[in-house]
């Protein structure tokens, strides 16, 4: 309803001027019946604004566009299409404006629109022809104070610029990334090109200038800008543009591990001089220079090739000879309340950086837990930090800016423990940035994501990326529980507290239920609002599995927590108060004992316990993937469970502001922790083979990986080639190399058009996929692993074409050994490869045929191993059969 105390300013924006298809311009003159209930001043304002709108529309129709584009209909009978402002009905903010339609004398009714989507007509009795609803004339209704009536009448006609084009601060404008491929060969001003292109789309120089957010101009071509839907359409159709996609926010995928991988310190330092000139670029939350892992004793000047800089600001005082670059990016204004500098206020970036290249620090621990020497995989290498993540996440615009700078600065490797929902490669900033990094000879390692054990959750799946899942090491963090009846058990936890030998009162959540809140939540799970504070205070509380109960227990005055899970646990969590997680088996009898008279318990501090390893972590994302369905991801596993590494002293060890514990080292888990292990392993291999391509390094890591045993059938979808083994990878014997043309060929193979790929490649010559040798086989690429996805069939038939390059003994003969997937026949042709020199290439094909016994979801695994008696070059074969793949594709 429109109230008397609202004064409406009605103005129009003409979207249809840019449309090639003839559109109708529909205008409804305000009448007494349609403005029933409105104040006289409001009616007058609406009528004046209507005449201004009509006059403006006529002027535009005559001067700005072809007469066939805009047709003025009988304004007395046509409906009014309006856009309600975010404060039209109430004072609460809304994420996007909503589109409304009104007939003469009738109230506003929604016809539907989603943020950034085209206008979609829903069922509405006033709309008979869906073509009548279009991105044409839009009336925006904004409430104004009565005292501003003179403003309305005086400046009504001066709204012309915003009427047609929209204000640069229009909330309808959303941030988009306009990707234009490779940098132009000519020495043109790229920023001028971006402004010109934006002006073409917007039509107003002032708004175009103020709408642009950032230009990517150092390593690839593109820009970020705030755009309206029709401007997105114009830019998408421009032949100079590869893709236009909305800026989205992504999430972080959040020692002894190097000993577990067989890399003692003396071996890590084997090629120190070469490693000293290597720079690992980290895209993350920043870096904390006060961490001991980043001391620069013994380091010389930065490598001569280095072009990067260090942005000292506020509490970030600068870099040193170890950390030689630090920049920050906040194009999306996500750093509210945080320091605008490269300093790490989260801890994640410091942890990943020190895991990759931290110097050895003896006696490192988290309050005495996991004590030992903490060190990175290539401790002699340099670090460059590109802060692209803030408290609420990581923006696509910032990630792309980080890649742009890192490539231009001269990093040798990029580690990025960030992810989001997989998208088309040309709409994915990590895929785009890593492609240009690959062209510059830079290997990018990315975390696979933490959405496991669900399948089809793997992220960062581009074929030029090293995608890393998380595995366990041979140490698990356990804490003991002692009960008042003498029973003892244990659970998994990172518990820095200890109740000593003293027994403390114990109660279960079920018995501590708040009777006034029965029916809201579940007291057994210790849900918020279900517990009686008087019964919880001063006690250890036993809860059935849930997440985050410790916050509730601490708030209510509880002094400890024990949680019981129905599923197997491998992830040790840091707790705000003394706490332990266990399975129902581990905590057998706990529920019954908690119901006894005056139950008691004590919780010990965490200690490290040796366990069998490696295993894929429960949270590590699983394949297969849908972007390139027959390229299997993740590629490899690396330690990501319970990793001790450097940490920032700014946040608490839990990140909770009420937690007073701070430490220079912390124990974290996630594929975020696995990724820097992989990039450091790649740097170690590269230091011994400086002429190897990124694909050759990745191949060496994959084909020498240690096969991993699985507990569950679907775990096969998360292990890739197995556990990374950097020592073996230094001498793989043979590699599956992939050049630039091969990646382009697979893009052609997957249906991307000539124009888009031509822009990606750059150069003056017009690109055509037909000019390349066609890709063959199931996947069309020389990948180290082999994968087939099947849907709605259990009949398997596919051929893989592969080429191996000799990097081992000049004269060698390799013989193939096949372990076929169950029920399938695998044939390798030829089964013997003879090499007479290093660098020689030999090709073969693999034919996989047969029929599975299962018609529903099934995972079949096998392998091919090429051996010359010293080297074993292993490629996994994985067949995924799924009957519901169609549904997944629809929702991807």
Q: What is the CATH number of domain 782-892?
A: 2.60.40.2310
Q: What is the mean pLDDT of the chain?
A: 80
Distance, in Å, from the CA atom of 147 to the CA atom of 154, rounded to the nearest integer, reads: 13
Give Cα 96 to chain centroid, integer Å: 24
pLDDT bin (cut points 50, 70, 90) of residue 186 is: confident
Per DSSP bridges, beta strands 393-395 and 786-791 are unpaired
What is the arithmetic mean of pLDDT over 191-206?
A: 92
Tokens describing residue 136 = 């044409």
Q: Which of 268, 401, 286, 423 is nearest to 343 (CA)?
A: 286
- The predicted-structure confidence for 333-344, as pLDDT tens digits, reads as follows 888 778 999 999
Residues 382-421 have pLDDT tens digits of 999 999 999 888 999 999 999 999 999 999 999 999 988 8
| pLDDT > 70 in the chain, percent | 76
Paired tokens of 585: 């088996």
Handedness of CA 522, 525, 526, 532 (dihedral sign): positive
549/577 Cα distance (integer angstroms): 11
Q: Say yes or no to pLDDT of 79 above 90.
A: no
Whether the upstream peptide bond of residue 696 has omega within 30° of 0, thus cis, is: no
Give the three-state DSSP class for 433.
Answer: helix
Other CB atoms within a 10 A radius of the CB of residue 815 amount to 14
**Among 70-74, 109-113, 550-554, 879-883, whose mean pLDDT is lowest?**
70-74
Bridge partner residues of 696 (DSSP): none
d(CA 723, CA 637): 5
What span, in angstroms and rounded, lies between the C-alpha atoms of 67 and 436? Answer: 46
Does domain 475-606 correspond to CATH entry 3.40.30.10?
Answer: no
Is it the case that residue 380 has pLDDT exceeding 90? Answer: yes
From the list 768, 764, 753, the residue with the least C-alpha distance to 242 is 753
The residue that leads in pLDDT, 107 or 606, is 606
Q: Report yes or no: 890 and 751 within 8 Å, Cβ to Cβ.
A: no
Residues facing 878 on adjacent strands: 787, 861
Q: What is the pLDDT of residue 137?
A: 32
Give the per-residue pLDDT at 550.
87
Contact 892, 626 (CB under 8 A): yes
Specify the CATH number of the domain 174-247.
Answer: 3.30.70.80
pLDDT tens digit sequence for 657-714: 889 999 999 999 999 999 999 999 999 999 999 999 999 999 999 999 999 999 888 8
CA distance 652 to 616: 29
Domains of the chain by residue range: 7-165, 174-247, 248-471+612-732, 475-606, 782-892
* The pLDDT value given to residue 324: 98
Whether residue 841 is predicted with pLDDT greater than 60 in this model: the reply is: yes
From residue 38, how far is each of 10, 69, 243, 659 by CA, in Å? 14, 34, 47, 56
d(CA 399, CA 213): 14
pLDDT reported for residue 403:
98
In tens, the pLDDT along 362-375 reads 999 999 999 999 99
Q: How does strand 174-179 pair with strand 222-227?
A: antiparallel
3-state secondary structure of 252: strand
pLDDT for res 29: 42
14-21 average pLDDT score: 31
* Burial of 488: CB neighbours in 10 Å, binned 0-12, 13-18, 19+: exposed
Report which listed range, 17-31, 250-264, 511-525, 536-550, is most confident: 536-550
Relative to beta strand 579-583, strand 600-603 is unpaired
Tell me the angle at which helices 671-688 and 694-703 cross, rounded to the nearest 10 degrees.
Answer: 110
Q: What is the pTM of this model?
A: 0.79
Residues 6+ apart with CB under 8 A from 486: none
H-assigned helices in 526-599? 533-536, 549-555, 590-594
pLDDT of residue 246: 94
Q: 3-state DSSP call for residue 812?
A: strand
Average pLDDT over residues 164-181: 74
For the annotated catalytic residues, the residue numbers are: 284, 348, 672
Query: E-assigned strands of 640-686?
Result: 643-646, 665-668
Topology annotation, domain 248-471+612-732: Rossmann fold (3.40.50)
Which pLDDT belongs to residue 125?
A: 34
Residue 212 confidence (pLDDT) above 60: yes
């Amino acid at each position: 309803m429109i109230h008397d105390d609202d004064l409406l300013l009605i103005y129009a924006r003409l979207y249809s001027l840019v449309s090639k298809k003839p559109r109708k311009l529909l205008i409804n003159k305000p009448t007494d019946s349609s403005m029933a209930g409105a104040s006289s001043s409001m009616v007058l304002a609406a009528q004046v604004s209507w005449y201004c709108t009509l006059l403006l529309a006529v002027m535009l129709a005559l001067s700005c566009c072809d007469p066939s584009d805009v047709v003025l209909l009988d304004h007395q009978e046509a409906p009014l299409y309006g856009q309600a402002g975010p404060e039209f009905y109430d004072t609460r903010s809304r994420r996007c404006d909503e589109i409304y339609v009104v007939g003469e004398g009738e109230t506003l009714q929604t016809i539907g629109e989603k943020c950034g989507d085209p206008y979609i007509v829903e069922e509405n009795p006033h709309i008979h022809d869906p073509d009548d609803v279009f991105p044409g004339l839009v009336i925006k209704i904004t409430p104004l104070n009565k005292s501003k009536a003179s403003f309305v009448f005086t400046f009504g006609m001066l709204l012309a610029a915003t009427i047609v084009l929209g204000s640069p601060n229009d909330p309808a404008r959303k941030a988009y990334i306009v990707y234009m491929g490779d940098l132009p060969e000519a020495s043109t001003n790229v920023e001028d090109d971006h402004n010109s292109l934006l002006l073409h789309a917007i039509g107003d120089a002032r708004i175009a200038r103020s709408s642009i957010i950032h230009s990517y101009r150092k390593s690839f071509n593109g820009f970020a800008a705030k755009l309206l839907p029709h401007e997105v359409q114009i830019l998408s159709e421009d032949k100079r543009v590869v893709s236009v996609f909305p800026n989205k926010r992504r999430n972080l995928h959040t020692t002894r591990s190097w000993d577990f991988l067989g890399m003692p310190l003396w071996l890590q330092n084997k090629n120190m001089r070469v490693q000293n000139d290597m720079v690992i670029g980290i895209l993350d939350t920043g870096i904390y220079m006060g961490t001991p892992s980043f001391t620069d004793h013994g380091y010389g000047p930065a490598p001569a090739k280095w072009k990067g800089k260090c942005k000292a600001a506020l509490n970030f005082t600068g870099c040193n000879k170890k950390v030689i670059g630090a920049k920050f990016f906040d194009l999306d204004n996500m750093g509210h309340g945080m320091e605008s500098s490269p300093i790490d206020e989260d801890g994640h970036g410091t942890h990943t950086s020190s895991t990759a290249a931290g110097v050895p620090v003896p006696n490192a621990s988290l309050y005495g837990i996991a004590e030992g020497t903490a060190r990175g995989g290539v401790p002699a290498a340099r670090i460059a930090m590109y802060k692209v993540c803030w408290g609420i996440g990581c923006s696509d615009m910032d990630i792309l800016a980080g890649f742009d700078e890192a490539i231009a600065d001269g990093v040798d490797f990029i580690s990025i423990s960030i992810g989001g929902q997989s998208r088309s490669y040309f709409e994915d900033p990590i895929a785009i940035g890593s492609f240009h990094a690959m062209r510059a000879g830079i290997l990018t390692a990315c975390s696979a994501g933490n959405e496991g054990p669900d399948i089809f959750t793997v992220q960062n799946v581009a074929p030029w990326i090293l995608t890393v899942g998380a595995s366990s090491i041979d140490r698990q963090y356990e804490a003991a529980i002692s009960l008042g009846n003498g029973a003892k058990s244990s659970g998994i936890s990172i518990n820095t507290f200890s109740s000593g030998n003293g027994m403390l009162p114990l109660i279960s959540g079920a018995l501590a239920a708040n009777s006034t809140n029965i029916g809201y939540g579940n007291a057994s799970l210790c849900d918020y609002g279900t517990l009686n504070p008087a019964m919880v205070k001063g006690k250890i509380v036993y809860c059935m599995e849930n997440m985050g109960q410790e916050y509730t227990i601490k708030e209510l005055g509880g002094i400890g927590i024990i949680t019981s899970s129905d599923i197997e646990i491998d992830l040790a969590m840091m707790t705000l108060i003394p706490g332990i997680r266990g399975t129902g088996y581990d905590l057998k009898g706990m529920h019954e004992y908690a119901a006894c008279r005056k139950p008691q318990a004590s919780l010990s501090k965490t200690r490290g316990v040796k366990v069998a390893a490696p295993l894929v972590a429960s949270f590590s994302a699983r394949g297969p993937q849908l972007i390139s369905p027959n390229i299997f991801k993740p590629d490899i596993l690396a330690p990501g469970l319970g990793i001790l590494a450097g940490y920032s002293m700014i946040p608490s060890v839990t990140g909770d502001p009420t937690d007073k514990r701070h430490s220079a080292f912390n124990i974290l888990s996630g594929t975020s922790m696995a990724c820097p292990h992989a990039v450091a392993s790649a740097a170690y291999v590269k230091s011994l083979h400086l002429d190897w391509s990124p694909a050759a390094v990745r191949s060496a890591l994959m084909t020498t990986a240690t096969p991993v045993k699985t507990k569950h059938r679907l775990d096969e979808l998360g292990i890739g080639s197995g556990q990374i083994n950097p020592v073996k990878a230094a001498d793989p014997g043979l590699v599956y190399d992939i050049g630039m043309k091969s990646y382009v060929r697979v893009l052609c193979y997957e249906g991307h058009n000539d124009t888009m790929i031509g822009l990606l490649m750059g150069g003056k010559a017009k690109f055509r996929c037909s000019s390349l040798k066609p890709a063959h086989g199931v996947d069309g690429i020389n990948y180290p692993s082999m994968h087939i996805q099947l849907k709605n069939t259990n009949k398997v038939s596919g051929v893989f074409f592969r080429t191996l390059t000799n990097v081992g003994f000049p004269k060698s003969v390799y013989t193939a050994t096949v372990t076929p997937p169950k029920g399938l026949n695998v044939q390798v042709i030829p089964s013997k490869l003879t090499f007479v020199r290093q660098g020689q290439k030999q090709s073969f094909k693999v034919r996989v045929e047969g029929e599975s016994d299962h018609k529903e979801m099934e995972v079949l695994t096998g392998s091919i191993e090429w051996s010359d008696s010293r080297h074993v070059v292993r490629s996994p074969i994985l067949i995924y059969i799924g009957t519901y793949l169609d549904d997944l594709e629809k929702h991807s």
